[in-house]
């Protein structure tokens, strides 16, 4: 039997929780579906902090300028203005709701991160900002009796009827079978797709299902070629690529090669505080030059007491692997970290499919351009989660849920694969993405990747595997189309920026890739 609710939110990171709270203000019933437990999301793993204009020596114009510079000419100015101005309001609201940002002498403590012209990064419990934001938002959401959190409900597809998104198909965690839930509108807040790559800082849930589901539902996708690789992930044998926060370099960390030389001066005058895409490519170049698999992050100029207090989670994690961040050089290499592209939306979370809204990393609003400015992601989720929730409510509050007559009701449920086959498919895709569609790209490698993905598609894939391969194809197709280097997209065969490509790539099911000068519509 199908379920009914007023609004469905998919995902419980900062965007999903903030959207849910906004929707619940009206008393509407909001059902939040999450793949894992409610607190498991990319938000929880965000260490560095959240960028916001609150210090005395800062202003919105400076934050906007820094964001536009990092975005390499592809940010939409209106989207950035919305982010930096609304951001201050919503962060103040979070503080009112009880979030505990770190303080010094009774005042908010701000830190520096790459490509920021001011110390404007708020952090919580040293390096656990995302976790603290999730805690505060879940606590606030639980005050709203109309919000129902449904963990371990793996969403498989969106239900579209007569051009409108009317619900979701998901795997019922109790029945272990596909089930349908209908609503006035659906808000996608499913996060990014870092798991497309063999090496990533993202948690296992970041497989990009929301992007693929939106694509299959007919939504337009934008800027899928722009993947941000974090420069400094812990690089140890048999250990996950644990993120060593940007803030470590903001506090004075130095990158060294295997000879102990500080090398960033060879690549950029901003040294370790250059934008992430530049630092990542510089590290790759240095590893190739020296024939090594990693470089080193040196924090030894700072006291152990300071580092233990400022980066407690990183300190303890490194200690688990027999590394003292105050004494040892930390082996690091880049890993996939953030998707600048995603489901195309306006500034109120509306996608190109009626009844379907989206917020956070799953989207492309144009706010990040070709390269996200450090610590703008939590702010994006907060601002556009609230705006998306408000728009979904205003647009659909009077709508009545009817019994939708579905054509091919099981069309999105493919033959299930065994866990072993599904794992093998994803492992192959991750390898191809890392080797062919990674930090450095060229025409031949991208074409080879697309041939492999086409071959993989010939199998009778499960829904999750089909989503995974489709998403990889979208990234590779857009990367092949963009014959220039800009931000997080670098082509060895087209190493320069080309002004004719100062446009957004747009992809839609059953259509050729196209371009658009403006994301927001």
Could you tell me which residues are beta bridge partners of residue 164? Answer: 161, 354
Angle at 358 between CA 168 and CA 85, to 5 degrees: 155
How many CA atoms lie within 13 Å of 401's alpha carbon, on the beta-carbon side? Answer: 18
> Of 120, 241, 276, 466, which residue is the catalytic one?
276
Please give the structure tokens belonging to residue 225: 């070629």
Report the SS3 class of residue 181: strand
How far apart are the C-alpha atoms of 273 and 38, rounded to whole Å? 34
Report the SS3 class of residue 79: helix
Please give the structure tokens belonging to residue 39: 């607190």
Cα→Cα distances 377→109, 146, 211, 333, 362, Å:
19, 27, 17, 22, 11
Task: Count CB atoms within 10 A of the CB of residue 418.
Answer: 9
DSSP 155: E
Determine whether 276 is an active site residue: yes
Phi-psi region of 506 (alpha: psi -120 to 50; beta: other; left: phi over 0): beta
Between helix 14-24 and helix 129-141 the angle, nearest 10°, is: 20
How far apart are the C-alpha atoms of 206 and 128, rounded to whole Å? 19
Angle at 312 between CA 100 and CA 376, to 5 degrees: 55
Contact call for residues 414 and 467 (beta carbons, < 8 A): no
Could you tell me which residues are beta bridge partners of residue 338? Answer: 228
* Catalytic sites, residue numbers: 276
């Amino acid at each position: 039997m199908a379920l009914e609710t007023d609004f469905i939110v998919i995902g419980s990171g900062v965007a999903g929780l903030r959207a849910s709270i906004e929707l619940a203000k009206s008393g509407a019933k909001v059902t939040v579906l999450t793949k894992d437990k409610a607190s498991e999301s990319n938000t929880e793993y965000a260490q560095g902090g959240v960028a916001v204009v609150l210090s005395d020596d800062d202003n919105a114009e400076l934050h906007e300028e820094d964001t536009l510079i990092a975005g390499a000419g592809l940010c939409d100015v209106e989207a950035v203005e919305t982010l930096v101005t609304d951001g201050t309001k919503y962060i103040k609201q979070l503080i009112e709701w009880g979030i505990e940002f770190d303080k010094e002498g009774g005042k908010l403590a701000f830190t520096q991160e790459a490509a920021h012209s001011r110390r404007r990064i708020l952090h919580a419990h040293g390096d656990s900002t995302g976790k603290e934001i999730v805690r505060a938002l879940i606590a606030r959401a639980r005050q709203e009796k109309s919000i129902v959190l449904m963990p371990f409900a793996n969403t498989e597809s969106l239900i579209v009827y007569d051009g409108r998104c009317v619900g979701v198909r998901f795997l019922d965690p109790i029945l272990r079978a596909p089930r349908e839930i209908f609503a006035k509108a659906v808000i996608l807040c499913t996060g990014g797709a870092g798991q497309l790559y063999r090496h990533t800082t993202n948690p296992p849930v970041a497989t990009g299902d929301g992007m693929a589901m939106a694509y299959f539902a007919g939504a337009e996708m934008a800027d899928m070629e722009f993947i941000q690789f974090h420069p400094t992930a812990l690089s140890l044998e048999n250990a996950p690529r644990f993120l060593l926060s940007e803030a470590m370099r903001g506090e004075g960390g130095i990158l060294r090669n295997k000879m102990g030389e500080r090398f960033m001066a060879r690549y950029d005058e901003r040294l370790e505080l250059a934008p992430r895409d530049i630092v990542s490519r510089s590290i790759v170049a240095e590893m190739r030059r020296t024939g090594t698999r990693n470089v080193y992050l040196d924090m030894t100029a700072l006291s152990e007491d300071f580092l233990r207090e400022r980066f407690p989670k990183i300190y303890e994690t490194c200690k688990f692997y027999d590394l003292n961040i105050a004494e040892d050089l930390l082996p690091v290499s880049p890993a996939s970290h953030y998707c600048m592209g995603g489901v195309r939306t306006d500034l109120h979370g509306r996608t190109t499919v009626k009844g379907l809204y989206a917020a956070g990393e799953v989207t492309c609003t144009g706010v990040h351009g070709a390269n996200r400015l450090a610590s703008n992601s939590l702010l994006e989720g907060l601002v556009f989660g609230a705006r998306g929730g408000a728009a979904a409510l205003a647009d659909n509050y009077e709508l009545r849920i009817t019994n939708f007559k579905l054509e091919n009701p099981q069309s999105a449920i493919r033959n299930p694969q065994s866990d072993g086959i599904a794992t093998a498919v994803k492992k192959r895709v991750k390898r191809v993405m890392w080797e062919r569609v990674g930090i450095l790209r060229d025409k031949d490698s991208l074409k080879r990747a697309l041939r492999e993905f086409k071959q993989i598609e010939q199998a009778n894939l499960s829904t999750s595997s089909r989503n995974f391969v489709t998403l990889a194809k979208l990234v590779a197709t857009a990367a092949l189309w963009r014959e220039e280097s800009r931000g997080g997209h670098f082509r060895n065969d087209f190493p320069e920026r080309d002004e004719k490509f100062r446009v957004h790539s747009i992809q839609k099911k059953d259509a050729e890739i196209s371009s658009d000068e403006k994301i927001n519509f």
